Each structure stands twice: as C-alpha cells, then as structure tokens.
Amino acid sequence: MLHVAGVSGLTIIDQLPMLTIVVPMLAAPLCVLFGNRHIAWLLAFLASVFSFLFATHMLLQVMDGDVLSYHMGGWEPPLGIEYRIDAANAFMLFLISGISTIVLPYARRSVAHEIKKVSHTLFYCCYLLCFTGLLGVVATGDAFNIFVFLEISSLSTYVLIAMGAERDRRALTSAYDYLILGTIGATFFVIGIGFLYMATGTLNLADLSVRMANMEGNRTIQAAFAFIIVGMGLKAAIYPLHLWLPGAYTYAPSVVTTFLAATATKAAIYVLMRFMFSVYQPDFVFELHTLTWIIMPLAILAIFAASLIAIFQTDLKRLLAYSSVAQIGYMMLGIGLASKSSLSATIVHLFNHGITKAVLFMVVGAYVMRAGSSFANNLNGLGKQLPWTSAAFVIGGLSLIGVPGTAGFISKWMLIQSVLEADLWWLAIMLVISSLLAVIYIWKTVEVLYLKEPDVSTLAMKEVPLSMLLPIWILAIACIYFGLNTEWTLSMADVAAEGLLNGGGK
C-alpha cells in the first residue's frame, strides 16, 4: 500500500521521511555556529538519536510491505523530488542511524585522543554532513538527488579521512586518492543518469522503471547501466575498484573508520541493488549477463584475493580493511545470483556485517587509544590488559568468520542456501573454504592478543573508559543476539528483497 503525504495539514508522522535527513542537516551548521566542541558532540549525538527514532518508526510502518512517499516542496513526482521509503531503504536508514547513535558516545573519547581540540567542532560538523549524505542517498527516490547526497557524504568523508593526518601523514595521500577515485565514480554515475534522462525524460526512480520496462534493446539504457555500475562500484569498493579503501580505512581516525566501514559502502551497495533490481528489470538479458559473467566472478575473486592479502597484514586496521573488501565480495555474490533468496541474503549480510565490522573497528580504536598504534607488535598480550575490549574482539571475529551462534553465520548460511538453490554446489564449497581464510587472519590476531607475552609497556595499560566499552559491548551483544534470534532480520530482509524486486512497490 502506498502512503502519500498530502500537501497541507501534515502531522509529524507524515514528515518522518524528511525529518530523518533534515535533523542532522540542521545540526551540522548549528555545530559551527555554537563553536563549542562539547555542544557540537551533544548536537551530533542528539541528531543521530532523533534520526534513529524516526528511522525505527518508519521501519515499523513499512514492515508489511507498505511504501511511504514524501513530496519535497509539495511538488508531485515524477516532476518533483520524492522521498520514497520502502522496506529496503527503511532497513538501511535503521542500520545507518543506529550505527551512528552507537558510535557517537564512543567517538567522544576516541576523537579527543586522536584529533586536536581545535578541530573537534569541525569534525562533528563534517561527521553530521557525512551522516546526512548517507541517509539521503538511501532515502531519496530521485536519481539526481542520489548524486547530490552522495557528494555531500563523499566530500565530508575526504575531510574526515584527512583528519587522520595528525597521527600519520599518509592519511592525506589516502584522502587524495579517494577524492580522485570517488569523484570519477560520482561523475560516471552522473553520466549514467544523464543517459537515463535522455532515454526516458524522467529522474524519478519509480517512474524510470515504468518507462524502461520495454526498452531492453535501447543502447542508451545499456550504456547507462554500465556507467552506473562502474560509478557506484567505485563507491562500494567492488573488488578491482577497491584500491582507495585499504588506505582510507587504515589512516582515517578510528571513529571515522568504524562509521564508514559499517555504513558508507553499504549505502553504495544499496544504490546498486536499487538500480539493478528496481530501476532496471532484472530479466533484461544484458543485465543478466553482467551479473553472471562480471559481478559473480569478481565477487568470488574478491572473497579469495582480499582474504589472502588480509592474512599478510601487520596492521590490524589494514587487515580489517582488506577483510571488508572480501565481505563486500559476499554481498556482490548475493547480488550476482539475482534470486529473491540471494538478495535477502545480501541484505542480511549488509546488516550483520555492518554491526560486526563496527565492533571490530571500535576495538581497534580502543587499542590505538591505549597502545598508540594498531600494529601487531604493540598489541602483544593486550588480551590480559584489556579483557573486556579483547573479548568483544573475539566475538566480532567469530561473527566475521561465521561461527554458528553469531550474526555472521546467519548471512553466510543464507548465502550458501541461495547458492545451492541455484545448483552451484562448487561455489558453496568455495564459500566454506573462504571462511577458513577468515579463520586464519582472525586467529593470528587472537594469538597476538592472548598468547604472546605482554611487553613491559603493555603491563601498565588499563581498560578503556566505560563510554567506549559500552558501545563496543552493545554491538558485540547484537552480534550474538542477531545470530540466535534471526526471525526479525530474516523477515525484514525478505520484505526488503521483495520490495526491491517489485520496483519499490509500484
């Protein structure tokens, strides 16, 4: 059922699709106006709590397959900009705002440790803009609006990454590389949208899919598909386009890495799914060929190559960054199979991997705070010095491997099921083998943490403050909870996958 917010006499419930995005957008300039780092943090936290509440409410509204439609400025779609919330984007909004709400209390101490005081206000301002951009990318139902929000989030991301330069100057070159690649990606995406507009005369995603339903042979549409996939693929760090990711994740401040790893690439993958399955009909021959012969092989390559590289890393942050590339491979594999079950596997993995990686990167941030760096040598025997933090790392690691009882198991299990559904038993075996690679790099880290003798300097280290420990543990418990109680995530992902395949509830 389609709920359209009217033109006048709107209640606050009708305004939710807009409020979710506008509240953090308003908070960002307020941060600068107040110019106080404590108020800036408070504003960021409050904005993200409000967004989270709004997103949760919308999620409950659309859980049964309903669609919320909000007309910006009162202009009717397809002419005006429409915010269109169905199960798929409500789920993504929930994930992004939820992660942000949990990361921000953690951010306070971590940012104070890694960034100098003068920059704190601007840090939270950029963080809010990045948050706004990601929410906007997910919520909007207008193709060009996606680009605008994408650039809002990207530009602020470059700044956030470059703020890591106080610890390591390589943050600057990483941010620069990301800027070049990210801009090329966004520009490719705009070219693709331009082709679509040329062929159909509309930018509204729902309207696009209606008008493109019988334009399969149109070469403009096909070229647009290629441009959009490559452009968004760069943002999502699909395997051969992932080169910006390890550097950016390694040298960015820990909070930024946590937030980006858990949300930014996920938003890009959501846009990919939206275009592949809602805007383009999934039964277009050229799309099926792309999925089978390009996306799938690259996904398998990503899983193995990136996991292998991860094994040989000495910096924990870089190790986890490469593991992120591998995990994106799993998601792309689900997209490549292009069935309803594989899509819901991808959506579940988006969520589960989001919380898992957030735990792991937050723990690494805690290590950076205590040990001064995330290099393996500095972490010897930290398991005894920081017992709670390290225990959370083990839980996150188990979830990353996909051990039964953790969130990571559920998504891998669903993926393997959908692979078997497609009669690709060899692929199922490869997926199991790939999990063993994850065992190697997680075990290497656990060995360093628990089995190595602590150094003299390590012995003096204390557990991180509660404001950091609590967020870590909330997510660590979530990793276990969503591994045991799967009803909610699975039904949610099912509805979301159905919504994607039905073109967003036309």
Binding residues (CB under 8 A) for other proteins: these are 5, 7-10, 15, 18, 22, 25-26, 28-33, 35, 70-74, 144, 147-148, 151, 155, 158-159, 162, 165, 169-170, 172-173, 175-176, 179-180, 183-184, 186-187, 190-191, 194, 197-198, 203, 312-315, 318, 373, 375-380, 444, 448, 452
Minimum gap (Å) between residue 15 Cβ and other proteins: 6
DSSP strands (E only) in 157-275: none
User: In terms of CB distance, is 16 or 475 closer to other proteins?
Assistant: 16
User: In terms of CB distance, is 28 or 360 closer to other proteins?
Assistant: 28
Minimum gap (Å) between residue 377 Cβ and other proteins: 4
Minimum gap (Å) between residue 402 Cβ and other proteins: 22
User: In terms of CB distance, is 98 or 247 closer to other proteins?
Assistant: 247
Minimum gap (Å) between residue 285 Cβ and other proteins: 25
User: In terms of CB distance, is 52 or 251 closer to other proteins?
Assistant: 251
| Tokens at 262, concatenated | 């858990």
Q: How far apart are CA 94 and CA 135, in angstroms?
A: 9
Minimum gap (Å) between residue 452 Cβ and other proteins: 6
370 close to 494: Cβ distance less than 8 angstroms: no
Between the alpha carbon of residue 171 and those of residues 104, 115, 247, 253, 469, the distances in Å are 22, 13, 8, 9, 26
Q: How many CB atoms lie within 10 A of CB 471?
A: 24
User: In terms of CB distance, is 10 or 285 closer to other proteins?
Assistant: 10
Residues near 211 by Cβ (< 8 Å), separated by ≥ 6? 200, 201, 202
| Gyration radius from the chain CA atoms | 22
Q: How many CB atoms lie within 10 A of CB 74?
A: 11
- Bridge partners, residue 375, by sequence: 315
Q: How far apart are CA 131 and CA 126, in angstroms?
A: 8
Sheet hosting strand 82-85, strand order edge to edge? 2-4, 67-71, 82-85
Q: How far apart are CA 457 and CA 94, in angstroms?
A: 41
User: In terms of CB distance, is 95 or 165 closer to other proteins?
Assistant: 165
User: In terms of CB distance, is 114 or 287 closer to other proteins?
Assistant: 114
3-state secondary structure (DSSP) of residue 105: helix
Q: How far apart are CA 459 and CA 352, in angstroms?
A: 34
User: In terms of CB distance, is 182 or 354 closer to other proteins?
Assistant: 182
Residues near 117 by Cβ (< 8 Å), separated by ≥ 6? 37
Minimum gap (Å) between residue 448 Cβ and other proteins: 5
User: In terms of CB distance, is 312 or 425 closer to other proteins?
Assistant: 312
Minimum gap (Å) between residue 464 Cβ and other proteins: 21
- Bridge partners, residue 266, by sequence: none
Q: How far apart are CA 169 and CA 257, in angstroms?
A: 16
Minimum gap (Å) between residue 251 Cβ and other proteins: 10
Minimum gap (Å) between residue 137 Cβ and other proteins: 14
